[in-house]
Amino acid sequence: MILDCDLLRRYAETQSEDAFAELVRRHVNLVYSAAMRQVNGDSHLAQDVAQTVFAELARKAATLSGRQLLTGWLYTCTHFTAAKAVRKESRRRTHEQEAHAMHELCHSPTPEIDWENIRPVLDQVMHKLKESDRDVILMRYFENRQLADIGEKLGLSEDAARKRLDRALEKLRAFLSRSGVTASALAAALSANAVQVAPAGLATTLASASLAATAVGVGATFTFVKLMTMTKIQSAIVGAVVIAGVATPLVIQQQSKLRQENESLRKQAEQLAPVQADNERLSNSLAETVSSQKLASNQLSELLRLRGEVSGLRTQTNEIKKLEAENQQLRSSLAAGAAAKRGNQTPSAEEAVPKESWSFVGYADPESAFQSMVWAMSHGEVKTFLASLSPDAQDLKDSQGKSEDEIAAKIKEFGGVTAFKIIDNQPVSADEVILTVYAFGVNEAARFRFQRFGSDWKFAGKGIHTAAAK
């Protein structure tokens, strides 16, 4: 059987659609099943995620053709792509999954009970494993490979492959236990449920759509853009993992009150709108009446009284607008206070992105732009790092006149960070946000400003580093 890397290389060099279609056919069940789990069983959304993953594979064909195994890359890419898709869906998904799991816990046999407990957290916990442990579980239970085949892929005997698989399962079981999930029949649950058969014809559809999406772009080879660095840029990126800890209950309660007050003020303003329209109509009527000298004195008095009431309502409307402005200022002050309190807290490592999972994921949103920039730093990708910067960024200006070798040498000094966690996304405007990120390993935090240029988000500047409590 032709290796995945050979098929991908053939596509990168000759644009062979047959080679790419074969790759999609081999891995569509893995990608589709991982996406289905992470989008809560929404088959349409899972197909969109799968199409995005294979389109990304086509764009990066030249870069990835050197990999012996594509399974791990596809699995990780699916994880991040699905995570971005899920953020746009209903936040009630977690609560619905928990309720469904509790129902199944009472009515299903033991393997099914285990699976319903495992399913909501499986993909998150899998990414806490080392890449070697994750790959052996993927090959055995997600691709249904035999131990002899796994051993051949990894250069091990069948017995050694079995032992490595057993150790990986024990580590996975331990991570599940820390997440509050007890899996008494983990291997059986994974064998029976980890991979679902994708809908008929999906592989053909995805291959065609992915190739079409690639043809619209600059071709199958993805070109890395220019990137800056100096010693201070390295510290910016090491601190690029900016902190925004957990807001205190008092701040949350106050913000809830502010939202309720603003909602009440908006409703009052909406109620005043018809009154203002009536005032305008009555004013016009009064003007016509005075000019024609035909209104009775009692009608004129009534109109004058109504005008006085409307004048008072206008005053109230102005006061409401002032209150809304004050509420907005108070909300900003509370947010600043919460950020100051978070500076001395170390966030949980849960949902942090470990260094071995970093990859280039584009610039479609601020979170993706940040990960792509950090990945470029850790891999010495000079062009990609420079491409992550805003045209007005000071770091980009400072890199002028430096050779790529000089910049790469400084990028390679990036180290010490074992994982990062984006714990706050504060919009400044429709085209600017400030990410708060925490860097595990160096225990430092900073605020990073990203700006949108067209459809891409770029790093525009950094905030002040914060040493977290150790």
Same domain? For 320 and 438 the reply is: no
Same domain? For 80 and 171 the reply is: yes
Same domain? For 254 and 115 the reply is: no
Contact 206, 154 (CB under 8 A): no
Rounded to 10 degrees, what is the CA torsion of 52, 57, 59, 61? -170
Asked if residue 226 belongs to a domain, the reply is: no
Q: Which of 291, 324, 342 finishes a domain?
A: 342
Same domain? For 434 and 328 the reply is: no
The span from the CA of 356 to the CA of 127, in Å, is: 9
Contact 172, 137 (CB under 8 A): yes
Same domain? For 34 and 171 the reply is: yes
For residue 391, the domain's CATH number is 3.10.450.50
Question: What 3-state DSSP class applies to 423?
Answer: strand
Range of the domain at 273: 249-342
The span from the CA of 406 to the CA of 124, in Å, is: 38
Q: Which of 288, 307, 342 finishes a domain?
A: 342
Q: Against a cut of 0.75, is the pTM above it?
A: no
Asked if residue 223 belongs to a domain, the reply is: no
Number of folded domains that form the chain? 3
Asked if residue 225 belongs to a domain, the reply is: no
Beta-carbon contacts of residue 393 (< 8 Å; ≥ 6 apart): 228, 458, 459, 460, 461
Strands 444-453 and 466-467 turn out to be antiparallel
Same domain? For 193 and 49 the reply is: yes
Q: What is the pLDDT of residue 258?
A: 66
Same domain? For 177 and 96 the reply is: yes
Asked if residue 181 belongs to a domain, the reply is: yes
Same domain? For 165 and 45 the reply is: yes
Give which of 466, 77, 392 is closest to 238, Cα–Cα. 466
The owner of tokens 């393997």 is 111
Asked if residue 257 belongs to a domain, the reply is: yes
Q: What is the pLDDT of residue 185?
A: 79
The span from the CA of 50 to the CA of 53, in Å, is: 5
Asked if residue 190 belongs to a domain, the reply is: yes
Same domain? For 66 and 157 the reply is: yes
Same domain? For 353 and 336 the reply is: no
Same domain? For 289 and 360 the reply is: no
Asked if residue 46 belongs to a domain, the reply is: yes
Per-residue pLDDT of the chain (470 residues; tens, 9 = 90+): 788 888 899 999 999 999 999 999 999 999 999 999 999 888 999 999 999 999 999 999 888 888 888 899 999 999 999 999 888 775 556 556 555 644 554 455 555 557 888 888 889 989 999 999 999 999 999 988 999 999 999 999 999 999 999 999 999 999 988 888 877 778 888 888 878 778 878 888 888 888 877 665 544 333 333 333 333 334 333 343 333 343 344 444 556 666 777 777 777 767 777 767 776 776 676 666 555 554 456 666 787 888 888 888 888 888 888 888 787 777 766 655 555 555 556 777 778 899 889 999 999 999 999 999 888 888 888 888 889 989 888 877 778 888 888 887 777 655 678 898 999 999 999 999 999 999 898 888 889 999 999 999 999 988 644 444 44
Same domain? For 94 and 179 the reply is: yes
Asked if residue 152 belongs to a domain, the reply is: yes
